[in-house]
Amino acid sequence: MTLSGIGVSPGVVVGQIHRIKHAVIDTPVPASPREVFAALDAVATDLEHASQTVSLDVAREVLGAQAMIARDPALVEAIGARLLDDITYPDVRDAITEAFSGFRDALLSIGGYFAERVADLDEIKDRSIAKLSGADSHIASLKTPSIVIASDLTPADTAALDLNFALALVVEKGGPTSHTAIVARGLGIPAIVGCSNILTVDDSAQLLVDGREGTVIVNPSDDDFASRHTRESALRARAAAVSGPGRLSDGTPIPLMANAGNEQDAIAGVAAGAEGIGLFRTELLFLDRQTEPSVDDQVALYLRVFEAMAGRKVILRTLDAGSDKPVPFLNAVTEENPALGVRGWRLTRIANEVLERQLEAVGIAAQQTQADVWVMAPMIDTAQEAAEFANRARAHGIKHVGVMIETPAAALLADKVIAEVDFASLGTNDLTQYVMAADRLDSRLSDLTSTWHPAVLRAIHTAATSATNLSAPIGVCGESASNPQLAAILVGLGVTSLSMAPSAISEVRGYLAGLDRATCVHAASLVLNASSAQEAKDIASKILGD
Ligand code: PEP
Ligand code: MG
C-alpha cells in the first residue's frame, strides 16, 4: 500500500512506527471554576518547563509563546465568563472550547501563516481538558530509532520525544510551514505532511518514507527501498562532487539563486553557494506589522539583505500581500476568495500609495548598494499591468524591471506581458494552484497541486518560449526549482535560471552538471505529451536517470 502527502523534507528511510496519540476526552468533565483555572495554570507550567528543557530552538520559541497564551488574562477571563453560565455550558469542556474559539477564529481569519498557528492554540485547549479529566497526556519518549506518525506534531510533543531517535516524521495534517515541517528540516530528517491515511496503518507495519516524493510505502519490498536509496545517494554524491556556478555538462550556464525573506536567508544563500537572490519576498518582513513602515525604515531593511549580497544579483519582489501571506496593514478586509482577490500588484487598486512608497524605498536602497538590484511585481495578469509596473518602477530609477508569471492569463499571453519588461520569473507555486484550480495549502488536494502535471508544464513552456523569442531571461522561483529532475525539465522547457531554498542548491547543481541541454530539451518535449503528473515523472526518470 502506498500513501501520499506533501514531502517537506527529503530523504529515504525504512523503520518501525512510533505513534503519538493525543488524549481524546469524549465524556463530560465535572470540574469547578477553581479546578479549571488550576488546570490551565498547570498546563502553562508544563509548557514553560518544556520550553526550558527542549533542545530545538524553534520548539523552544513556540512552547514559550504557548505558555504565555495559557496565562493570557483575556483567555482566562473568556473562560471564566462562560464557567459562570452553567445553563448554557453545563459541561466545562464546552465552556473552554467556546472561549478558545474566539481566539481561534481571529487567527483563521488572518489566514496563511497565522492560520497554521491554530494548532498551537488547540493544543493548549486539549491539554487543559485532558488535565481536568485526569487523562494521561504523557507522550512516550522515543527509545529506539523509529518513524514518528501523528495527527500533527505539536511543539510539546517535540519537547517530550527525544527526536534524535526520529528517523522521519509523517503527519496527517499540517502544511509546508507547519511545526512538523520546520522541525524536520531543522533536524535534516525526511518528513511528509498532509498524509491523510497515515493513522489507519497498523502499529506492527514497517514503513518506507520518501520525503522527496511525499510517499509512504507500507511494508515495502527490498527493491522499493533499494531504488529510492540509490537515487538519494546518487543525488548526494553528485552534489558533493560539483561546486561553482550552476551549469549543464555542455557548459550552458544555469544560474542557481536563493529564495530569501530576510537577511538570515540571504546569508544562508551565500553559504550554500547561491549566485544571487532570485526571489526576495519583501512581504515576509511585514507579516506582523500593524502599520506601514516608513520609507526610511524600508530602505534600511532592504539594505540589510542587499549588503549580504554585495556584488551579486538580488531580484526583489514588491509586496505580495494577501491570500496565503496576509499583511495586517494591507489586508484588513476579509475576502470571499482571497487567492483570487486583491493580492500582489492588484493592491494598487486599494492601497496605491503603499506600493508607490515601496518602489520609492527600493529605488533609494538600490542606489546605495553594491548589489545588482532587479525588481519584479507579483500576480501580474495582463500586459497593461506589466506596462504600468515597469513605468512606475523605472520612474524610481530601477534599471531592471520584471514580472512574475504565476497566473494562467499571464502565461498564455506571455508574449505580450513579457514584451513590456526586461525579465520574467515563473512563480510555479501559484501557477500550479491556478492552472489546476486547487488550493496550494489544502493537503487533501496534494495530488492535483503538482507542478509535474502536464497542464502546468505546458503553461510554463508557453511562457518560456515567449521569453526566448523576446530574448528576455526567464527564471523559476517556485518550489519546483528545488526538485532536481523537475529543474532539468524546466531548463529543457526554456527556463534560464532557478531560484530555491538554499538547502536545495547543491543537489540541483550536482544533478544539472550531469546533463546536457539536448537531453533536457528532449525530456521536456516528451513530458509535455504525458497525460498525468505520474507519467511525466516516469518519463523524466527514464530519460534523465536518477
Ligand atoms: C510562487 O507562487 O511560486 C512564488 C514563488 O511566490 P509565493 O510562493 O511567494 O506565492
Ligand atoms: Mg506566488
Give the angle 211-215-218 at the CA atoms, nearest 5°: 120
Same domain, 214 and 307: no
CB 383 within 8 A of CB 391: no
Tell which wins on pLDDT, 354 or 116. Answer: 354
User: In this predicted structure, what is the pLDDT of residue 138?
Assistant: 56
Q: Is 63 in the pocket of ligand 1 (CB under 6 A)?
A: no
Q: Give me the phi and psi of 195, to 5 degrees please.
A: -95, 90
Nearest ligand to the C-alpha of residue 317?
A: 1
Q: Is 320 in the pocket of ligand 1 (CB under 6 A)?
A: yes
Neighbours of 266 (CB within 10 A): 26
Rounded to whole angstroms, the Cα distance separating 504 from 269 reads: 10
Q: Cα(526) to centroid of ligand 2, in Å?
A: 27
Same domain, 212 and 111: no
CB 62 within 8 A of CB 155: yes
CATH number at residue 64: 1.10.274.10
Query: What's the chain's average pLDDT?
Result: 91
107: nearest Cα among 247, 283, 348, 287: 287
Q: Is residue 290 part of a domain?
A: yes
- What is the number of the ligand 1 atom nearest to the C-alpha of 425? 5
In three-state secondary structure terms, 327 is coil
CB 31 within 8 A of CB 47: no
Please report which confidence band the pLDDT of residue 535 belongs to, taking 50, 70 and 90 as the band edges.
very high
Domain finish residue from 206, 223, 240? 223
Q: What is the DSSP string of 397-459?
A: T-SEEEEEE-SHHHHHTHHHHHTTSSEEEE-HHHHHHHHHT--TT-GGGTTTS-TTSHHHHHH
Same domain, 295 and 356: yes
Q: Is residue 281 part of a domain?
A: yes
Same domain, 7 and 38: no
Q: Is residue 231 part of a domain?
A: no
Nearest ligand to the C-alpha of residue 449?
A: 1
Q: Is 430 in the pocket of ligand 1 (CB under 6 A)?
A: yes
Q: Is residue 186 part of a domain?
A: yes
N-to-C CA span, the chain: 23
Pocket test for ligand 1, best of 430, 432, 434, 499 (most atoms within 8 A of CB): 430
Q: Cα(99) to centroid of ligand 2, in Å?
A: 35
What's the pLDDT tens digit per position in 232-252? 999 999 999 999 999 999 999
Q: Is residue 239 part of a domain?
A: no
Same domain, 107 and 163: no
Q: Is 428 in the pocket of ligand 1 (CB under 6 A)?
A: yes
Pocket test for ligand 1, best of 113, 257, 279, 287 (most atoms within 8 A of CB): 279
Q: Cα(344) to centroid of ligand 2, in Å?
A: 9
Same domain, 349 and 365: yes
Q: Is 453 in the pocket of ligand 1 (CB under 6 A)?
A: no
Domain finish residue from 133, 158, 184? 133
Nine-digit cell at 81?
Answer: 465568563
Q: Is residue 238 part of a domain?
A: no
Q: Is 478 in the pocket of ligand 1 (CB under 6 A)?
A: yes
Highest mean pLDDT out of 67-71, 177-181, 359-363: 359-363
Active site residues: 179, 477
Please report which confidence band the pLDDT of residue 33 belongs to, taking 50, 70 and 90 as the band edges.
confident
- What is the number of the ligand 1 atom nearest to the C-alpha of 430? 2
What's the pLDDT tens digit per position in 73-111? 888 888 888 888 878 888 888 889 998 888 888 777 766
Same domain, 319 and 436: yes
Same domain, 10 and 59: no
Q: Is residue 232 part of a domain?
A: no
How many structural domains comprise the chain?
Answer: 3
What's the pLDDT tens digit per position in 393-446? 999 999 999 999 999 999 999 999 999 999 999 999 999 999 999 988 777 788
User: In this predicted structure, what is the pLDDT of residue 87?
Assistant: 81
Same domain, 127 and 149: no
User: In this predicted structure, what is the pLDDT of residue 140?
Assistant: 67
User: In this predicted structure, what is the pLDDT of residue 322?
Assistant: 87
List the residue whose alpha carbon is closest to atom 4 of ligand 1.
427
Tell me the residue type at 491.
Answer: V
List the residue whose alpha carbon is closest to atom 8 of ligand 1.
429
pLDDT exceeds cutoff 90 at 59 = no
Domain finish residue from 223, 238, 271? 223
Same domain, 55 and 123: yes
* Containing structural domain, residue 49: 33-133
What's the pLDDT tens digit per position in 435-489? 999 988 777 788 888 999 999 999 999 999 999 999 999 999 998 999 999 999 9
Q: Mean pLDDT across the stretch 531-543?
A: 96
Q: Is 283 in the pocket of ligand 1 (CB under 6 A)?
A: no
Same domain, 37 and 170: no
List the residue whose alpha carbon is closest to atom 9 of ligand 1.
281
User: In this predicted structure, what is the pLDDT of residue 12?
Assistant: 96
Please report which confidence band the pLDDT of residue 185 belongs to, taking 50, 70 and 90 as the band edges.
confident
pLDDT exceeds cutoff 90 at 113 = no
CATH number at residue 528: 3.20.20.60
CATH number at residue 152: 3.50.30.10
What's the pLDDT tens digit per position in 208-232? 999 998 999 999 999 999 999 999 9
Same domain, 118 and 62: yes
User: In this predicted structure, what is the pLDDT of residue 139?
Assistant: 63
Q: Is 281 in the pocket of ligand 1 (CB under 6 A)?
A: yes
Q: Is residue 27 part of a domain?
A: no
Please report which confidence band the pLDDT of residue 506 belongs to, taking 50, 70 and 90 as the band edges.
very high
